[in-house]
Amino acid sequence: MKVVCIEPFGFRKESTADRNGLGYGISYDVVSRAPFGGGIKIINDFGKQHTYKRSRFITLKEWRERQLNEIGL
């Protein structure tokens, strides 16, 4: 399953990746779901597997819909 990051820490529009290895609008493959706390494991931009809060991501389908809404389609 692919997800798109919508809430990286230290988010700045000019930045592609923050200090936690996530970039706004970047898609990531979910490696697994964490057994507790609603987290998901992904491989971040530094190539490290890490658990992040699920709320920081949306599905690829939701991301596409959001982008289409922004351009008025």
| DSSP strands (E only) in the chain | 2-5, 27-33, 39-43, 49-53, 57-59
Q: What is the mean pLDDT of residues 46-68?
A: 93
Residue 20 is part of which domain span? Answer: 2-70
What's the confidence (pLDDT) of residue 14? 46
Phi and psi, residue 63, nearest 5°: -65, -45
**CATH code assigned at 17:** 2.30.30
Reported as a single tens digit per residue, the pLDDT across 12-54 is: 444 554 567 899 999 999 999 877 778 999 999 999 998 899 9
Q: Are 66 and 51 in contact (CB under 8 A)?
A: no
Number of domains in the chain: 1
What's the confidence (pLDDT) of residue 18? 52
Q: Which residue has the higher pLDDT, 13 or 6?
A: 6
Q: What is the DSSP letter of 35?
A: S
What's the confidence (pLDDT) of residue 20? 75
What's the confidence (pLDDT) of residue 63? 95
Closest to 52 (Cα-Cα) out of 71, 73, 26, 16: 26
